[in-house]
Amino acid sequence: MPATQSPKDPENEASASASASGVVVVGVTPDQPPRVLKVAAKHAALLGVPLMIVNVDVMRFVTYEDPDGSVHSAPLDADIDTGADDLAAVTAQATALLDGHDVVWSVQQVVGDPALALKKVAEQRDARLIVVGTRRRGFGESVREFFTGSVAARLAHRQTRPVLVVPLGEPVPDDEDIPWEDAAEK
């Protein structure tokens, strides 16, 4: 799917990408706290590279890829298409948070497994850093992570780029069990 250019300075993104080595890639979901995006923007500014905001549509899968890199996808359920709404929400969040800041940014939506999709974008854009958030606390998220693994862990094991994991909520106290440990024991 095509990238949405930064309203800040869309004409200069290509020249900024060419003059700086790589980008900072950040995985963003519509319901994610803004902290992940803020941390990613800060690192992009510190490194002097553009920020590539990536939203992964997990309700679609790649059917085939053309030799030019164009991806064709199909929905898991023909009656459900949340991708456009998610992309609009992520773009609106980025615009609200990043307007007026000294970072060139763009938004791209890709499809498939989040870890593999973020890895691919990072490879294509020669990312210097990949930023993701932790999962939310709760039993449902613990069960999902138990079966699928965390995106951050899967990213860290499948490529050589640094992965920065930003906590989404309050940390689990030292004297409290991590929820996924409870789910694994049951």
Question: How far is C-alpha 92 from the geometric centre of its chain's CA atoms?
Answer: 15
**Does residue 60 form part of some domain?**
yes
Task: Tally the C-alpha atoms within 13 A of residue 53's C-alpha that lie toward its C-beta.
Answer: 31
Residue 61: phi, psi to the nearest 5?
-135, 155
Is 140 within the bounds of a domain? no
Helices (H), the chain: 13-19, 35-47, 83-98, 114-124, 139-148, 151-158, 179-185
**Does residue 161 have a pLDDT over 60?**
yes
Between 109 and 18, whose confidence is greater? Answer: 109
SS3 12: helix
What is the pLDDT at residue 84? Answer: 81
Sheet with 51-57: list strands edge to edge.
3-5, 105-111, 51-57, 24-27, 129-133, 163-166
Range of the domain at 51: 3-134+162-172
CB of 24 closer than 8 Å to CB of 129:
yes
142 in a domain, yes or no? no
Hey, what are 75's tokens?
């929905």
pLDDT digits (tens, 9 = 90+) for 35-55: 999 999 999 999 999 999 999
Q: What is the CATH number of the domain that holds 50?
A: 3.40.50.620
Overall number of domains in the chain: 1
Mean pLDDT for all residues in the chain? 75
139 lies in some domain: no
Tell me which of 39 and 76 has the higher pLDDT. 39
Of 13-22, 28-37, 106-115, 150-159, minimum mean pLDDT range: 13-22
Residue 166 covered by a domain:
yes
Residue 126 lies in a domain: yes
143 lies in some domain: no
Confidence tier at 60 by pLDDT (50, 70, 90): low
* Band (145; pLDDT cuts 50, 70, 90): very low
Q: Is residue 18 part of a domain?
A: yes
